[in-house]
């Protein structure tokens, strides 16, 4: 049995297996499976331009950087970061390799198709089963090292790809450790406690995303609204915008392309550690009819056995659980997970 048929749905019926992206290279119009209702994809952004509210842009060299990061995490759960220190050529090489990967034929990419038991490699995002419609997206997920999956695609020629990933991974990790340092200090978390969350107690994951040109972008969804299962997430939107962040009481904001910046957002884990003082940014991705978009994302996460619980208050708003338990719950309950683990106030 092929890996594709392992997923319940039969490709003979014309229904795409849950792990398999559409073959976008041969598509002229949006199939029914990929058409979202207007309410799910509200492309009418009310705020951009008409409001002075905007996602903060923070300079890592600013003397007030700690407070700026703290405020941005409280108000938005996200910000754009300049003078981040990741060398330009590392980002450029990563962009080249990401395009080289997704520009391969469907047959080539499917050699590294991910399965439910093997959640790395090429495929749809794992939140796909929560929705009836499919997303206008294909992804490549990496935990630790991409070498096993890259070898399946490029048996002899995998090293350039792996090197580009490794450099981005190392730089992103160091940068996020700086951000953890600053944000923990802002929250009044001790140096000793901070040591529990970095170094050997962290795990990194990378997601490469491809959003092909779409004939009817207002009907399609790149990635549906979600929060990340991370401490911090670092994102390079490359040369095409499409990422949107939701701000309470204000709506969706498109994150503009800012040269030489990366987007940083907080995830569910930091929301819990901060006892809900920091938001876990709700975000989504729109697509367009003009340019193929690629993004490269690094997730800084704890190791599975690590216990996640609020670090900052005598009145914890969440119960303690291992990160492994949290991930299992999110796989089952998706956006309800935080409210399920929240402690009822008396
Ligand atoms: C390390 C991670 C983080 C993951 C799961 C796993 C691998 C891929 C990540 C994403 C990337 C796309 C959105 C998301 C919601 C998805 O479906 O896959 C993310 C998810 C999460 O942050 O929860
Ligand atoms: O493509 C983007 O800009 C965002 C992708 C994203 O949210 C993710 O991979 O978790
Ligand atoms: Fe995300």
Could you read off the pLDDT of 294-306 as tens digits, one per residue? 999 999 999 999 9
318: helix, coil or strand? strand
- Cα–Cα dist 140/235, whole Å: 14
Could you read off the pLDDT of 233-255 as tens digits, one per residue? 999 998 999 999 999 999 999 99
Q: What is the pTM of this model?
A: 0.94
- Read off the tokens for 138: 């294909």
For strand 251-254 and strand 223-226, is the pairing parallel, antiparallel, or unpaired?
unpaired
CA distances for 234 relative to 86, 109, 179, 266, 332, angstroms: 11, 25, 11, 9, 25
- Cα–Cα dist 202/177, whole Å: 10
1-5, 113-117, 324-328: which has the minimum mean pLDDT? Answer: 1-5
The CA 192 to ligand 2 mean position distance, Å, reads 32
- Read off the tokens for 162: 């792996």
Could you read off the pLDDT of 178-235 as tens digits, one per residue? 999 999 999 999 999 999 999 999 999 999 999 999 999 999 999 999 999 999 999 9
Mutate to test the pocket of ligand 2, among 77, 94, 142, 207 (most ligand atoms within 8 A of CB): 207
- Cα–Cα dist 304/201, whole Å: 9
The CA 127 to ligand 2 mean position distance, Å, reads 12
Could you read off the pLDDT of 57-116 as tens digits, one per residue? 999 999 999 999 999 999 999 999 999 999 999 999 999 999 999 999 999 999 999 988
């Amino acid at each position: 049995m092929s890996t594709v048929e392992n997923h319940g749905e039969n490709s003979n019926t014309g229904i795409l297996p849950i792990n398999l992206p559409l073959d976008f290279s041969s598509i002229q119009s949006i199939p029914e499976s990929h058409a979202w209702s207007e309410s799910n994809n509200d492309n009418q952004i009310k705020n951009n331009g008409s409001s002075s509210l905007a996602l903060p842009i923070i300079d890592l060299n600013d003397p007030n950087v700690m407070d700026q990061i703290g405020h941005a995490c409280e108000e938005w759960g996200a910000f754009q970061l300049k003078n981040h220190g990741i060398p330009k050529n590392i980002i450029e090489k990563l962009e080249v390799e990401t395009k080289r990967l997704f520009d391969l034929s469907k047959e080539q990419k499917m050699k590294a198709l991910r399965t439910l038991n093997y959640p790395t490699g090429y495929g749809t995002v794992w939140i796909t089963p929560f929705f009836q419609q499919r997303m206008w997206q294909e992804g490549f997920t990496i935990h630790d090292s991409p070498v096993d999956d890259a070898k399946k695609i490029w048996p002899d020629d995998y090293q350039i790809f792996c090197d580009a990933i490794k450099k981005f991974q190392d730089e992103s990790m160091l940068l996020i450790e700086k951000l953890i340092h600053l944000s923990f200090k802002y929250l009044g978390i001790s140096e000793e406690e901070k040591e529990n969350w970095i170094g050997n107690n962290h795990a990194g994951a990378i997601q490469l995303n491809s959003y092909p040109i779409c004939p009817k972008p207002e009907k399609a969804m790149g990635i549906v609204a979600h929060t990340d299962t991370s401490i911090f997430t670092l994102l390079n939107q490359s040369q095409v915008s499409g990422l949107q962040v939701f701000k309470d009481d204000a709506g969706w904001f498109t994150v503009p392309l800012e040269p030489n910046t990366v987007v940083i957002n907080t995830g569910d884990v930091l929301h819990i550690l901060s006892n809900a003082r920091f938001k876990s940014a709700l975000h989504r991705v729109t697509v367009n009819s003009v340019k193929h978009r690629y993004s490269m994302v690094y997730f800084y996460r704890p190791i599975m056995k690590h216990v996640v619980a609020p670090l900052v208050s005598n009145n914890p708003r969440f119960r303690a659980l291992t990160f492994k338990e949290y991930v299992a719950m999110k796989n089952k309950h998706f956006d309800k997970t935080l409210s399920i683990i929240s402690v009822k106030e008396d």
